[in-house]
């Protein structure tokens, strides 16, 4: 049973992470944990002043801020398409292994 648990743990770790990113061992995501008297919340964000402090730290190579820009409708030949807009810094494509197909980067 212990071997099965260990194998399942290894599988979960391997499939929970996007392994195609080039610097995976040096890439971290920061989260904010909010604890109140009746509940605990985990946010996939950090306060903006923390990002400024991290950029000035010697142990941080690069930071990437990603912001939600809301929704908009894009007009096409086949009608309107709803799209979610997300903004990021140009360093996003240096840190992560995504390829930019269209855009300024």
Per residue in 76-92, pLDDT (tens digit) is 898 999 999 988 888 88
Domain membership flag for residue 66: yes
Domain membership flag for residue 19: no
Q: Which domain holds residue 71?
A: 25-95
For the entire predicted model, the pTM comes to 0.58
User: How many domains does the chain divide into?
Assistant: 1
Domain membership flag for residue 29: yes
Report pLDDT for 103: 64
Domain membership flag for residue 5: no
User: Residue 85 phi/psi, 5° resolution?
Assistant: -100, 130
What contacts 32, CB < 8 A, 6 or more positions away?
Answer: 42, 43, 45, 46, 47
User: What is the CA 76 to chain-centroid distance, rounded?
Assistant: 29
Reported as a single tens digit per residue, the pLDDT across 52-80 is 888 888 888 888 888 888 999 989 898 99
Q: Using 50, 70 and 90 to split pLDDT, how confident is the model at 17?
A: low
Residue % of the chain over a pLDDT of 90: 8
Domain membership flag for residue 68: yes
């Amino acid at each position: 049973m212990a071997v099965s648990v260990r194998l399942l743990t290894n599988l979960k770790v391997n499939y929970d992470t996007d392994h195609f990113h080039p610097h995976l061992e040096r890439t971290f995501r920061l989260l904010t944990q909010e604890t109140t008297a009746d509940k605990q919340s985990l946010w996939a964000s950090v306060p903006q002043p923390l990002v400024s402090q991290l950029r000035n730290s010697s142990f941080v190579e690069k930071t990437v801020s990603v912001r939600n820009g809301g929704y908009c409708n894009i007009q096409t030949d086949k009608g309107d398409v709803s799209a979610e807009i997300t903004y990021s810094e140009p360093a996003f494509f240096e840190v992560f292994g995504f390829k930019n197909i269209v855009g300024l980067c």
